[in-house]
Amino acid sequence: MLYRLACVATASFVLACGPDPAARITADGLRADAAALSADSMQGRGTGTAGGDRAAAYIARRFEEIGLAPAAGDSYLLPFELTGMKKDAAASSLTMRGPGGALPLRNDETITYWSTAGKDVVDLRNVPIVFVGYGVEAPEYGWDDFKGADVRGKVLLFLNNDPPVEENGQALFGGAARTYYGRWPYKFEQAAKHGAAGAIVIHTTASASYPFSVVGNTGSRENWDRSYQLDLLAWMDSTTSERIAAAMGTTLTGLFDLAAQRSFRPRDTRYRLTAHIKTAVRTIQTQNVAGVLRGSDAALADQYVVFTGHYDHLGMNPSAGGVDTIFNGAWDNAVGVAAIMSTAEAFVATKPRRSIMFVAVTAEEAGTLGSAAFVEHPPVPLKQIVADFNVDMPQIFGVTRDVAAIGLETNTIGDTFRAVVEEHGLRAAGDPDPTAGHFYRSDQVSFAKVGIPALYLQAGTDYVEPPAVDPKAYEEAHYHQVSDEIGSAWNLLGLERDMRIVFETALRVANADAQPRWTPGNEFEEEWKVLYGKQ
Ligand SMILES: [Zn+2]
């Protein structure tokens, strides 16, 4: 195809004219990489599988072809270990006894439990269960549910979601939008941080945004973990939780009310937990893949703008009934990795002041563990990473008048994105569904948690031409199914346009004098100050 001619302002503000680098991002290029990564030969790119390793090798080869330098010495691969833990349900047991005797528990129906201690056998005997409300410690809101209580060795009972608190007519936390404090991984992290033996999260459909069945068999799956080691983790249904509330002289609604008070303190439930958990533990080797375009400005080249997209998916399901046993993950997220490769092709035709790092991460489907590992052992000092652009399940149904990104209102990358979108005569849109807490459900969260400002590209919804299929219905039919494959419903012209906008945004971020920052009062602002030594 023909490259458009364009002029771009370089670092020294001299206009350089030539083929528009953004025009290197094309629907055809996106489709080719997405097709290669979602091919049956990649066997669903399961973390720690041969298919996953094959996908990593393909990405490394493409990064080299594009002209990126290896991020780790002479290698594009950033290896790390993951521990897989699968409970032996038949050999495990759990009971809870209180004033009314033992609770009637049914495994994976009223409670699902597991261990991430990494031990073959965990035994807990008559351990007190302490209700800790939402279990939130948020200095920026002056909120502390623990208030110095010693909960070491106890089992902590948490409510899901953020405290729904209004003060002086203002919603604390994110109001209806879910902050990280409202996500279940935060609850488990809190339990580990406080030295608890375990954590039980009370499930209600309202506080989780999905029914119990979505989490109901978590304890029977293989769980991968890096961020919290606990003897016991569990989800408990609302009916069982009512029994505990009753023993505390209240109801589940009463517990929610209690926990919404600033004065809340942890309190004993009068229930004691006994558990014997047998777990098969194994360690696997896996890897993220990263390539670098070195920046051109001597003063800024040691700062990095990072692109992330997860290349792992669900692997194979040999027990699936039909002929197809491969989770191709074309939308989730072969096409997102294709998108960051295309962006790399555009970037190598420019001379950004800051360096750009392209990272295809693994183990997202296991709980954003690949990006967590990247942030824990980054190939450059963490404080040199100033921004993250994440792409996960982007637009595949055509061109829209809106361009959407989660995090739009939370930091200055969002401001730059909005400016670029509007210069193109389009509308910038934020999170299409804030209550679900999507910002905390893909890899950008690993960056945000340590203070790095991040933006997460979404699919716009205001289509110029009616899409070939209803996007919502398509998602319901194919999300996390073996049928997530490139098909006739796909039209990548929309993603081509979206990624050109993302590229333009990232180029401006890479060339700006100031590094990105969170909007004042944001939940990640404190971490930002600590990471970069700012006031
Ligand atoms: Zn997924």
Ligand 1 mean position to 16 CA, how many Å? 41
Q: In 10 A of CB 466, how many CB atoms?
A: 9
CA atoms in the 13 A half-sphere facing the CB of 311:
38
Q: In 10 A of CB 258, how many CB atoms?
A: 18
> What confidence category does residue 166 fall into, taking pLDDT thresholds of 50, 70 and 90?
confident
The overall average pLDDT reported for the chain is 92
User: DSSP characters for 285-309?
Assistant: EEEEEEEEE--S-TTTTTSEEEEEE
pLDDT of res. 461? 94
Ligand 1 mean position to 41 CA, how many Å? 19
How far, in Å, CA of 72 to CA of 444, rounded? Answer: 21
> What confidence category does residue 41 fall into, taking pLDDT thresholds of 50, 70 and 90?
very high
User: DSSP characters for 203-235?
Assistant: P-HHHHSS-HHHHTTGGGSEEEESS---SEEEE
> What confidence category does residue 68 fall into, taking pLDDT thresholds of 50, 70 and 90?
very high
Q: For residue 408, what are its two tokens?
A: 């739009």
| 66 neighbors 344 (Cβ within 8 angstroms) | yes
Ligand 1 mean position to 481 CA, how many Å? 10
Q: Is the dihedral of CA 44, 45, 46, 51 positive or negative?
A: positive
**Whose structure tokens read 């490139």?**
486
pLDDT of res. 143? 94
User: DSSP characters for 121-157?
Assistant: EEEEEEEEEEE-TT--EEGGGTEESSTT---TTSEEE
pLDDT of res. 320? 56
Ligand 1 mean position to 241 CA, how many Å? 30
| Span 421-437, pLDDT tens digits | 999 999 999 987 777 67
Ligand 1 mean position to 96 CA, how many Å? 34
pLDDT of res. 409? 93
**Whose structure tokens read 């041969």?**
50
> What confidence category does residue 523 fall into, taking pLDDT thresholds of 50, 70 and 90?
confident
Q: Is the pLDDT of residue 25 over 50?
A: yes
Ligand 1 mean position to 439 CA, how many Å? 14
More confident residue, 323 or 399: 399
Ligand 1 mean position to 267 CA, how many Å? 37
Q: Which helix (H) or strand (E) holds 270?
A: strand 267-293
pLDDT of res. 119? 93
Ligand 1 mean position to 526 CA, how many Å? 30
Torsions phi, psi for 389 (to 5 deg): -110, 120
Name the nearest CA neighbour of 357 among 440, 301, 413, 405: 301
**CB within 8 A of 193, min separation 6: which ones?**
none
How far, in Å, CA of 237 to CA of 201, rounded? Answer: 9
E strand intervals along 427-509: 427-429, 454-458
Q: Is the pLDDT of residue 247 over 80?
A: yes
What pairs with residue 275 in β-bridges?
94, 124
User: DSSP characters for 356-373?
Assistant: EEEEEE--STTTSHHHHH
Ligand 1 mean position to 360 CA, how many Å? 14
How far, in Å, CA of 254 to CA of 262, rounded? Answer: 15
pLDDT of res. 205? 85
- For 84, the 3-state DSSP assignment is strand
Ligand 1 mean position to 514 CA, how many Å? 34
| Span 150-165, pLDDT tens digits | 999 999 999 998 888 8
DSSP state of 480: T
E strand intervals along 294-376: 304-310, 355-361
| Span 447-481, pLDDT tens digits | 999 999 999 999 999 999 999 999 999 998 898 88
Torsions phi, psi for 79 (to 5 deg): -75, 150
Q: Which has the minimum average pLDDT: 84-88, 179-183, 287-291? A: 179-183
| 96 neighbors 272 (Cβ within 8 angstroms) | yes
Q: What is the mean pLDDT of residues 115-132?
A: 96
Name the nearest CA neighbour of 20 among 502, 344, 349: 349
User: Of how many residues is the chain composed?
Assistant: 535
User: DSSP characters for 17-28?
Assistant: EEE-GGGG--HH
Distances in whole angstroms, Cα of residue 491 to Cα of each of 32, 421, 466, 475, 494? 13, 20, 11, 15, 7
- For 519, the 3-state DSSP assignment is coil
Ligand 1 mean position to 87 CA, how many Å? 23
DSSP state of 107: B
C-alpha distance across the termini of the chain, in Å: 49
pLDDT of res. 2? 41
Q: For residue 453, what are its two tokens?
A: 């400002």
| 415 neighbors 520 (Cβ within 8 angstroms) | no
**Whose structure tokens read 């289509």?**
463
Q: Is the pLDDT of residue 216 over 90?
A: no
Ligand 1 mean position to 361 CA, how many Å? 13
| 502 neighbors 341 (Cβ within 8 angstroms) | no
Ligand 1 mean position to 234 CA, how many Å? 22
pLDDT of res. 217? 80
**Whose structure tokens read 């303190």?**
265
Ligand 1 mean position to 302 CA, how many Å? 33
Ligand 1 mean position to 236 CA, how many Å? 24
Q: Is the pLDDT of residue 310 over 70?
A: yes
How far, in Å, CA of 405 to CA of 200, rounded? Answer: 33
Q: Is the pLDDT of residue 225 over 80?
A: no
Name the nearest CA neighbour of 201 among 236, 168, 232, 225: 236
More confident residue, 402 or 17: 402
Ligand 1 mean position to 15 CA, how many Å? 42
Q: For residue 471, what are its two tokens?
A: 């996007």
Q: Is the pLDDT of residue 325 over 50?
A: yes
Percent of the chain with pLDDT over 90: 77
pLDDT of res. 436? 67
pLDDT of res. 10? 46
Ligand 1 mean position to 77 CA, how many Å? 22
> What confidence category does residue 16 fall into, taking pLDDT thresholds of 50, 70 and 90?
low
Q: Is the pLDDT of residue 192 over 80?
A: yes
Q: For residue 24, what are its two tokens?
A: 């290197």
Q: Is the pLDDT of residue 356 over 70?
A: yes
Distances in whole angstroms, Cα of residue 414 to Cα of each of 17, 270, 399, 494? 28, 48, 21, 20
Q: For residue 94, what are its two tokens?
A: 């759990």
pLDDT of res. 517? 98
DSSP state of 397: B
Q: Is the pLDDT of residue 322 over 90?
A: no
Ligand 1 mean position to 4 CA, how many Å? 35
How far, in Å, CA of 22 to CA of 496, rounded? Answer: 9
Which span out of 169-183, 294-308, 363-377 was modeled with the highest average pLDDT? Answer: 294-308
- For 348, the 3-state DSSP assignment is coil
Q: Which helix (H) or strand (E) holds 188?
A: helix 184-193
Q: Is the pLDDT of residue 291 over 70?
A: yes
Ligand 1 mean position to 32 CA, how many Å? 21
Q: What is the mean pLDDT of residues 517-529?
A: 94
How far, in Å, CA of 328 to CA of 44, rounded? Answer: 5
> What confidence category does residue 416 fall into, taking pLDDT thresholds of 50, 70 and 90?
very high
Ligand 1 mean position to 480 CA, how many Å? 6
| Span 92-103, pLDDT tens digits | 999 999 998 999
How far, in Å, CA of 362 to CA of 48, rounded? Answer: 9
- For 182, the 3-state DSSP assignment is helix
> What confidence category does residue 285 fall into, taking pLDDT thresholds of 50, 70 and 90?
very high
DSSP state of 46: B
